[in-house]
With several copies, the nearest count.
Chain A
């Protein structure tokens, strides 16, 4: 795991695990936070190597269903984890974080976009996540709540693509997670639209059934849920579950 500076305060509960390699499958939006959490667990348990695989939640869910050697699965939405839990492929799912939406714009907000209605302004190129992915579902709810209808230039397959388009100048604005704005300083700037905090996306986590490292997996889940873990998540812009 990369050596990102940690700003977490206290370490979590010490467990003293055997040396082993733990495989964590995590939604792509968790990248920065889970890199740090992996490091935390490794520090506490010398000899334990935490390998985090990031990808879209549905990709990871499909792979776990097909027998991927994952020990922990952290999804960006309930929809991708619940069926696995229902089929007994994972243990029970626990919510460990929440995320809200922000309007992402180019640094300095050249088009002066201040609210959701501005996204529908003629001449503004807006991109959203596809309604099928978690951030897209949240975006739809947020826009509906605000009574704004708009046709996005594109419905991207994931948040990263939305951020890329705005950072690259292809699009003027889009709805992304708060955490994405935090992870891309200098590339995009966040604007908080009215009613944003009312729409929260929830992240569940579970230990994969039949994991050869069940004890370490549980320790990682515990770490994520612990105050220390929550502090790391908060530092990356996540809300409490």
Chain B
């Protein structure tokens, strides 16, 4: 059912996305790779990245699904406004997200001062990494799930209500399963975005090994290191991409089997 004409632009699009990654492969110093990838300099940030991105994704789910539901079921005008607000963090250049978070939660920040009084300091901790990642990844989840909710419509929810099911039951047993594919897509997107997050983290959380140095920061550090050995940066990037592809394919095929 696909018009044949579409195959040409589709393959150009795919090429544009995939070829640069292939280009990276040419830059790799293959003999040095295994040792580098098994070094603590590679594995520690990878572990931290996977851990923080996982926590962020859970946070995104907990906060984003309800937000998506509210937007999807709002009147068109309200929904339009909320959707715009939710999309704004996407526009922010990486740095600005960091400045914004610091100006809120940093020393002298609106909330930061109050938190300081109760002895809580968020910037430059692992919590800051999670917050930064959640901040940038949340819009993805909200928008994906909201779209799915809107397409699913409320016909089945109405049927469930006429059978006597309360809102909670309808939400858990009808709404969520119906938007399952959209939810999974949103989860994958926000996890990916959290895993790749650099800008806000760099400013808001800093770059301390084992605490806030996630993979993207490690890559940045390697890139900026003495001697522009992009080698190490490239190797770390490859590691990140490989891990991401494995996770995406695993989830993607699971998702496929759910759908079919």
Q: Which residue numbers of A lie inside 8 Å of B, CB to CB?
A: 23, 28, 31-32, 35, 51, 53-59, 61-63, 65-69, 79-80, 83-84, 125, 127, 130-133, 151-158, 160-161, 163-165, 167-171, 183-185, 187
Contact = CB atoms under 8 A, between A and B. Distances in A.
27 contacts: A31-B224, A31-B225, A31-B226, A32-B227, A55-B224, A58-B226, A59-B203, A61-B227, A63-B206, A66-B123, A67-B107, A67-B123, A68-B123, A68-B206, A69-B124, A125-B124, A151-B208, A153-B208, A154-B208, A155-B206, A155-B208, A157-B224, A161-B202, A168-B107, A184-B227, A185-B227, A187-B228
B187 interface: no
Given A53-B208, A62-B203, A157 B99 contact: no
B207 A155 contact: yes
Contact of A54 (B121, B123, B221): B221
Interface string B209-235: 100110001001111111111100000
B242 to A, nearest CB: 23
Interface of B: 99, 102, 106-109, 112, 116, 121, 123-124, 202-203, 205-209, 212-213, 217, 220-230
Nearest to A172: B107
Contacts of B109: 66
B109 to A, nearest CB: 7
B36 to A, nearest CB: 14
Nearest to A183: B226
B124 A155 contact: no
A80, A131, A157: which has the most chain B beta carbons within 10 Å?
A: A157
Contacts, number: 146
A62 B225 contact: no
Given A35-B226, A187-B228, A67 B203 contact: no
B206 A153 contact: yes
A88 to B, nearest CB: 13
A93 B22 CA distance: 34
A169 B206 contact: no
Contact of A156 (B112, B121, B207): B207
A164 B108 CA distance: 13
Nearest to B230: A62
Given A58-B225, A68-B206, 4 more contacts: A54-B221, A67-B106, A157-B224, A167-B228
B208 A157 contact: no
B207 A65 contact: no
Given A51-B208, A125-B124, A58 B224 contact: yes
B102 to A, nearest CB: 4
Contacts of A152: 208
Nearest to A180: B228
B106 A169 contact: yes
Contacts of B112: 66-67
A51 B206 CA distance: 12
Contacts of B221: 54, 130, 132, 155, 157
Contacts of A132: 221-222, 224-226
A76 to B, nearest CB: 11
Contacts of B124: 63, 67-69, 125, 153-154, 170-171
Contacts of A63: 102, 123-124, 203, 206
A123 B222 CA distance: 30
Contacts of A161: 202-203
Contacts of A160: 223-224, 228
Given A153-B124, A156-B206, A62 B228 contact: yes
